[in-house]
Amino acid sequence: MLFSVSRRFSLATLFVFVTAYAALLGIMWALRVPALITLDAVIFVTAVGLSQAILFGGRMPRRASIISGGIVAGVLAGGQSYWYLLDPNYPEGLAWAPYIAIGFAITAAAHGLLLGYVVGALIGLLFVWADYLFRALIPDSKPSDEALAEVKRRWAEHEAGSAKAIPWEEASREINRKLAGDS
């Protein structure tokens, strides 16, 4: 099973990710990492995670991680180096700023491809942990294989156009009967 950022997730998953962000920020604070670099790390990790859920419909999370890692790293490094070189105390930087920024952007994008893959894999690992935590805390929370097979069968009927429509009143009676414990 391939774990990546899904479009919907549980409270246990949110707990794991809030803890992971807290750990990342706490470690960076303890190491006295400058705020701009910390912000870059948060933007990078968030962008990779969002790209796993959005790009390619969530079906190719590693490719999405690599692509977004390269793009985000290039934009962050290029933009920040350009901004830094526009310092009025460094007039020579004004003329060279675009070229140096492009060079930094290309270099950072190349490194961002690999870093995006690594961050994407770590995000997948966090989803494995979240899934494990969820199963450990609430063991009966996942649907059974039979229930999933029934959902897939009904979905296939729906897609094929052979699904039988049931009036709402009949469905309501059936649900109430099952809730009451009558078989």
Domain ranges in the chain are: 11-141, 145-180
pLDDT in tens, 25-40: 999 999 999 998 899 9
Report how many helices (DSSP H) and strands (DSSP E) the chain contains, helices first. Answer: 6, 0
Confidence of residue 179 (pLDDT cuts 50, 70, 90): confident
The pLDDT of 94-123, averaged and rounded, is: 87
> Model's pTM, two decimal places?
0.66
> CA-to-CA distance for 76 and 45, rounded, in angstroms?
13
| pLDDT computed for residue 7 by the predictor | 60
Mean pLDDT of the chain: 83
Confidence of residue 139 (pLDDT cuts 50, 70, 90): low
> CA-to-CA distance for 40 and 32, rounded, in angstroms?
15
Residue whose pair of structure tokens reads 């774990």 in the numeric block: 3
Q: Which residues of 70-84 are buried (b: 16+ CB within 10 A; e: fewer)?
A: bbbbbbbbbebbbee
Confidence of residue 144 (pLDDT cuts 50, 70, 90): confident
| pLDDT computed for residue 164 by the predictor | 73
